Amino acid sequence: MSIKGKVVVITGASSGIGAATAKLLATKGAKVVLGARREERLQALSQVIGDNAVYQVTDVTDRQQVRALIDLAVSKFGRVDVLYNNAGTMPQGNLSDREYDKWQMMLNVNIMGVLNGIGEVLPIMQKQHDGLIIATDSVAGHVVYPASAVYNGTKYAVRAIMEGLRQEEKEHGIRSTIVSPGAVRTELVNTIGNTQIQAGISELMNADDRQGLALNPEDIANAVLFAIDQPKHVAISEVLVRPAQQEV
Tell me which residues are annotated as active site: 151
Beta bridge partners of 34: 10, 55
Residue type, 129: H
Residue pair 68/44 in contact by the 8 Å Cβ criterion: no
Beta bridge partners of 33: 9, 54
Task: For residues 157 and 108, give the distance between their C-alpha atoms in angstroms, rounded to a whole number.
Answer: 12
What own/partner pairs with CB < 8 Å and gap ≥ 24 does 55-59 have?
A: 55/13, 58/11
Beta bridge partners of 7: 31
Residue pair 42/55 in contact by the 8 Å Cβ criterion: yes
Task: For residues 67 and 88, give the distance between their C-alpha atoms in angstroms, rounded to a whole number.
Answer: 18
Burial class (CB in 10 A: 0-12, 13-18, 19+), 44: middle
Task: For residues 156 and 160, give the distance between their C-alpha atoms in angstroms, rounded to a whole number.
Answer: 6
Task: For residues 124 and 113, give the distance between their C-alpha atoms in angstroms, rounded to a whole number.
Answer: 18
